[in-house]
Amino acid sequence: MEHIHVIGAGLAGCEAAWQAAEAGARVVLYEMRPQKRTAAHKTDSFGELVCSNSLKSEQVHSAPWLLKQEMRRLGSLLLRAADQARVPGGHALTVDRALFSKEITAAIETHPRITIERREVERLPDKDVVIIASGPLTSDALAEEISRITGSERLFFYDSISPIVAAESIDMSIAFRASRWSKSLDGTDDYINCPFDKEQYTAFVDALLDAGRYEAHIAEDNTPYFEGCLPVEEIAKRGTDTLRFGPMKPAGLTDPRTGRWPYAAVQLRQENLRADSYNLVGFQNHMRFGDQARVFRMIPGLESAEFLRFGQMHRNTYIQSPVLLRETLQLRRDPRIFFAGQICGVEGYAESIAAGLLAGQNAAAVARGDEPVLLPRETALGSLCHYITHADPKNFQPANITFDLLPALDEDSKHRFRHDKKARHAEVCRRAHEAFDTFLNGTAPRVHCAVSV
């Protein structure tokens, strides 16, 4: 078996290197620190957590729990390290950052089939299998190389994400359905609209301006914002009424309860085909998550909103995976090259580890001349890979694991659990476990894309 080259010793890279080595491959793991620093990392250790210390919920029958259950069953090194470094955190898997990183570094450094090279990779090897797991802080030189091998343009993007709320938490006794000027493609009322009177609007703008700003760990290098992608609080700074002529304009939205346009309005746009989540249109922001919840619950109709995702905006680096990658995380135009972690379009610690796990196992399979595997679509891991390779390329954004990514229940199950969200989630998890058992028993489908290296 030839060497497997893994670029980046973050969460995805360490998991990928470990999985490939455990499968019998000889692995070279590249890490540019300390030779070249990043704006976010504080140490030279592997698997450093640069933001929070939480790997999300361990609440039974939650989507993050389901993902981690599958990863544990596949032998995730980093989840084992997280369990060893765990600190009290309620239902969340929270860790001592230093201990977590120490456990990972020790495991990688002492593995007999892993060689570590502390240097920046500026050009990929011309042979052997390669896993690119360089994360959102990919160096300029490597980004240029990725552009060359993918045929894509430069890979720096603004990761502008608006908050998403659960549909069932929207108060439709206040909000109303309408398309601006009653126009939509099929004549339906495509948006949910949250109406403000003048007093509510003034209080909302004041709260928006007073909210705490999130100190992003991804440097923006003084790059100016795109005018079409401004954080909502930056728009508010330009004048009291600026939002009323921007993302909160009420023109063309007649409130059926008053027969008039509201003073201002926030529009909610359907997030998925199942219509069980909606995003706040134009509300990308730099606010702290706690302040987002507090301020955005001042929006009429969202007083009890359940936030499925908070907004954020920072410079990020990720590829256009729906165009470039197979579900096995292989590059379509060169299947010996894999992508894993945030650079391939997953968002979150556990999700990055999961992508590294799958890339490592599939890379080892390809290196020995076997075929990589596809996980069942009903599983959390399978759905995560399906999302990043099948999402709309024009509107592709990195994603955390949520039940929205998994296939919908059949109509009978929807009807049976229509009044019990916990039971619905439990049924999705039961179905996922069943599919995962089938996969582990060796009856899951394989893909015919083995590569000789």
Which residue type occupies 234?
A: E
Query: Crossing angle, helix 77-84 and helix 349-367, to 10 degrees?
Result: 140
Question: What is the count of structural domains for the chain?
Answer: 2
Q: Is residue 453 situated within a structural domain?
A: no
Q: Is residue 74 situated within a structural domain?
A: yes
Where residue 212 sits, what CATH number does that domain have?
2.40.30.260
Same-domain pairing of 151 and 8: yes
Same-domain pairing of 119 and 77: yes
pLDDT on residue 350: 96
Per DSSP bridges, beta strands 334-339 and 176-177 are: unpaired
Q: Is residue 16 situated within a structural domain?
A: yes
Q: Is residue 449 situated within a structural domain?
A: no
User: What residue spans of 116-187 are helical by DSSP H?
Assistant: 140-150
Q: At which of 281, 313, 345 does a domain end? A: 313
Structure confidence by residue, pLDDT tens digits, 380-424: 999 999 999 999 887 787 888 999 999 988 888 888 888 888 999
pLDDT on residue 273: 54
pLDDT at 223 > cutoff 50: no
Q: What is the mean pLDDT of residues 105-111?
A: 96
Same-domain pairing of 277 and 323: no
Of residues 359 and 126, more confidence is placed in 359
pLDDT at 32 > cutoff 80: yes
Same-domain pairing of 108 and 68: yes
pLDDT on residue 127: 87
Contacts of 429 (CB under 8 A, 6+ apart): 61, 65, 66
Q: Is residue 448 situated within a structural domain?
A: no
Where residue 89 sits, what CATH number does that domain have?
3.50.50.60
pLDDT on residue 159: 54
Separation between Cα atoms, residue 160 and residue 138, nearest integer Å = 18
- Residue 155: band (very low, low, confident or very high) from pLDDT cuts 50, 70, 90: low
Q: At which of 296, 313, 330 does a domain end? A: 313
pLDDT on residue 448: 40
Is the pTM above the cut of 0.75?
no
Same-domain pairing of 284 and 390: no
- Could you tell me the end-to-end alpha-carbon distance of the chain, in angstroms, rounded to an integer? 9
The residue segments making up the domain with residue 228 are 161-313
Q: Give me the DSSP letters along 226-290.
A: PGGG--HHHHHTT-TTGGGGTTT--TT--BTTTTB--SEEEEEEE-STT--EEEETT----B-HH
Same-domain pairing of 137 and 203: no
Q: Is residue 439 situated within a structural domain?
A: yes
Q: Is residue 450 situated within a structural domain?
A: no
Q: Is residue 283 situated within a structural domain?
A: yes
Q: At which of 289, 313, 337 does a domain end? A: 313
Same-domain pairing of 232 and 206: yes
Same-domain pairing of 9 and 136: yes
Backbone torsions φ then ψ of 379, nearest 5 degrees: -85, 160
Structure confidence by residue, pLDDT tens digits, 36-86: 777 667 777 899 887 677 898 899 999 999 999 999 999 999 999 999 988
